[in-house]
A and B are shown apart, each in its own frame.
Chain A
Amino acid sequence: MSQTIEATRRGFLATASAALGAFTLGFRIPEAAAQPAAAATPELNAWVVIHPDDRIVVRIARSEMGQGTLTGLAQLVAEELNADWSKVSTEYPTPGQNLARNRAWGNMSTGGSRGVRESHDYVRKGGAAARMMLVQAAANRWGVPAADCAAAKSMVTHAASGRSASYGSLAAEAAKLAPPTEITLKDPKDWTIAGKPLPRLDTVDKTNGKQVYGADLKLPGMLNAAIRDCPVFGGKLASFDAAAITSRPGVRKVVRVNDSAVAVVADTWWQAKTALDALPVVWDEGPNAQVSSESVAAWLKEGLDAPQAAVGNRVGDARAAIAAAPRKLEAVYGYPHQNHACMEPMNATALWTAERCEVWTPTQNGEAALAATAEAAGLPPARCEVHKIHLGGGFGRRGAVHDWVRQAVAIAKELPGTPVKLLWSREEDMLHGLFHPVTQCKLTAGLDAQGNLTGMHMRISGQSIVASIFPQNIRDGRDPVVFQGLNPDGPEAAIGYSIPNLLIDHAMRNPHVPPGFWRGVNLNQNAIYLECFMDELAHEAGKDPLEFRRSLMQRHPRHLAVLNAAAERAGWGTPAAPVNGLPVHRGLAQTMGFGSYVAACAEVSVTPAGEVKVHRIVAATDCGHAVNPQQIEAQVEGSFVYGLSAALYGECTVKAGRMEQENFDTYPMLRLDEMPKVETVILPSGGFWGGVGEPTIAVAAPAVLNAIFAATGKRIRTLPLKHHDLRRA
């Protein structure tokens, strides 16, 4: 038995390795990977491999899902390496290798816009150490001091003697040297590779069909699985009638998966999917079948005035200040559940034997995928491996929770020695997301006679992602991530206003719908609540929204700088040119999240029939160090697509305990004909490292909503916009 498996494994390893090209190391058992710098491997350290023909392979621990981290991290390593960029390619070390080598590659988690900002230091040091070792190897070869040698463009030269040697010719000798203990990184102002708008390294294969995604994986002897989980969250699988479908063409097995799902395994996925569609299934839906969006909303509404709430930010006495204020303003906002809707549905290919389990999957966190694999396989992690594959979208869905990996392994356990690819249908993907948390927010504020803001209370009621996914991080009932963009200060997600009396608190209400980290996370709704209410306050105070904000931002210079940049570039204070005879109105928003400062000015027109058109958005970003400006622009533009899709259309509603939206016909999203012009202003102030994949999403909706108010006088306080009637009265 085990011999057969070994033969099979070798057979498909060659295929899998070829299929995945340079992006995996192919199959290696962890024991073999545990010996670094083996004779045949020209590895200078965990990050840098240099082949004798001068090819440089930079190892990337974070996952590429479109955000460009692969290219950005390679730029940082290559910069310190003084590499010839044209010779640089990349590969993923596997989570099993990371485990075997005592986490030589550190954290593999790719979320929270952390890819660059949390690993820049050690990957640059990896590049610098490799360069120093190459220089030392050349100095040793020539019998000269290393200080007299210089490295540039993958060559070490000794000017005094006119000698030079390529990195490829030095790598084997350099790899034998002890790594340097003192490493000085370059001043970013001297960068020639990092900080430049270089083309991505992964573009060409994405234009000719060669890029292999998890859904495309083919292994010899592989079977395909389709799955259906109980549509009511928390419900169970009661029974199914396998006999009704086992004679269908291609069907191999019908499998109970854990306690809530059933899968059909067949020769092809289409056979599995259509057989599953025909399978009679009885669910035990349980008490959650009574839940609806209306019942969730009523529960959250109760939280808006509940006595118990966890405090996220407190300055002075907000309640007293508001009570004493001559003018008061109150508004209630709400934000719905949303699905990530990655273009590539969830999938994993698993091969299980009693000795070993391997998984091939698109994941934002290879280490978490390995842990999920081991747990589902009933094997120690050292006997498991995960092969990471580029993601067809991640957006937070493929990070912390690997529900699809557990399912794939559970199915593969029923077919020992046979690789099985589990691919979710779009319907399964829509019904079993980890949804953007649902929240409501009541904002109450007091203004003095001159229209100055004297106190504000922001009560958030609703769902906590952390309580569901990392409950150990809840302290005294407080979820710190709920307050993204509203925190007192700090480098991650601080509020940009000084308000003399301020209370921001959260009444946690967790419906049965599983929440997840949805690109932008809690910054999305928090920025809508705060920035739209700021607009309301400015209006109430009779002040210009920009001036009103500026008066509260003097002690927040970076927040203010991006707001000013967006406003000035957009032409705030001067009338916008009409489009198609319709007046164009502007709206502003700013926030801070994921370590970066962002602002947007949206230009919007509304037809008499109530149709909203977003014409242009000027977006400003200060991410400290800008590693690849053209990819930052791509992320900013993409953020508006994600954020505007949410604002205009995004909503998953609960009925009878399950999600009502099952495909893109009922979960529409922005398309090219609605895409505004986006002008990106990058203000890299240096001195810190901020993320760029997420923060801009949060300013998309409030900037547009504020512009809609300017155009119509109507305040939109609940999303999506499609539910609101904006026709002129």
Chain B
Amino acid sequence: MAKLTVNGRVHDVAVDPETPLLWVIREQIGLTGTKYGCGVAQCGACTVHVDGQAVRSCSLPVSAVTEAQKITTIEGLSPDGGHPVQKAWVALDVPQCGYCQSGMIMAAAALLAENPKPSVADIRSGITNICRCGTYNRVQAAVQRAAGTSAAG
């Protein structure tokens, strides 16, 4: 039995310790906003925060995370969609199919937490998630907008 702290709540989960964090979040805890894309840490659709750091949860065994570590998923990024990154995403109508966007938003939020005023180059090298619909230019613009909003607010 492992204990995981997800979005501020402690969950007891009974799984094989090798189970990737992604599948524990989706199947045991029941939060499906975090997506399965590739299973090999290539696409970033599974990005969550572990103690504020962006982590590709498809390739992290649940046994590598302790109860003391704070896991945040897209559902816990803000109570009401009010995180500056989410607001910027809505303002610029970033998503197309939307499947990769939870991971994109989590990657962007982690980037801004570490680097509140990223340059364009910082954004372009810092967001490495795959989007097949091709929302990249709006992703870039939305991160810039969120950075500005954060500074203003």
Interface residues of A (CB under 8 A from B): 65-68, 199-200, 202-213, 215-216, 218, 224, 249, 268-270, 274, 341-345, 390-395, 423, 425-426, 630-631, 634, 637-642, 663-665, 669-673, 675, 677-678
Contact = CB atoms under 8 A, between A and B. Distances in A.
B93 A634 contact: yes
Given A269-B23, A426-B38, A638-B133, A672 B128 contact: yes
Given A204-B81, A390-B97, A672-B127, A344 B35 contact: yes
Contact of B38 (A209, A210, A664, A675): A664
Given A426-B37, A637-B138, A671 B130 contact: yes
A343 B45 CA distance: 8
Which applies to chain A's interface (DSSP): helix, strand, loop or mixed?
loop
A637 B99 contact: no
Contact of B130 (A394, A425, A664): A664
Nearest to A427: B39
B144 interface: no
A675 B102 contact: no
Given A341-B132, A342-B132, A672 B96 contact: no
A675 B137 contact: yes
Contacts of A630: 93
B132 A207 contact: no
B57 interface: no
A343 B35 CA distance: 9
Interface of B: 15-16, 19-20, 23, 26-28, 30-40, 42-43, 45, 73-75, 77-78, 81, 86, 89-90, 93-102, 105, 123-125, 127-140
B93 A66 contact: no
Nearest to B40: A663
Contact of B140 (A67, A206, A642, A672): A672
A268 B132 contact: no
22 contacts: A66-B96, A212-B32, A215-B35, A343-B43, A343-B97, A343-B132, A343-B133, A392-B35, A423-B36, A425-B39, A630-B93, A638-B134, A663-B40, A665-B42, A669-B132, A670-B134, A670-B136, A671-B128, A671-B129, A672-B140, A675-B136, A675-B137
B131 A343 contact: yes
Which applies to chain B's interface (DSSP): helix, strand, loop or mixed?
loop
Nearest to A637: B137
A695 to B, nearest CB: 14
A579 to B, nearest CB: 13
For the complex of A and B, the 4 pairs showing the least CB-CB separation, nearest first, are: A209-B33, A641-B134, A638-B134, A392-B99
B27 A391 contact: no
A328 B95 CA distance: 49
Contacts of A640: 134
A63 B101 CA distance: 19
Contacts of A395: 132
A663 B38 contact: yes
A642 B136 CA distance: 11
Contacts of B37: 343-344, 426, 664
A343 B128 contact: no
A638 B135 contact: yes
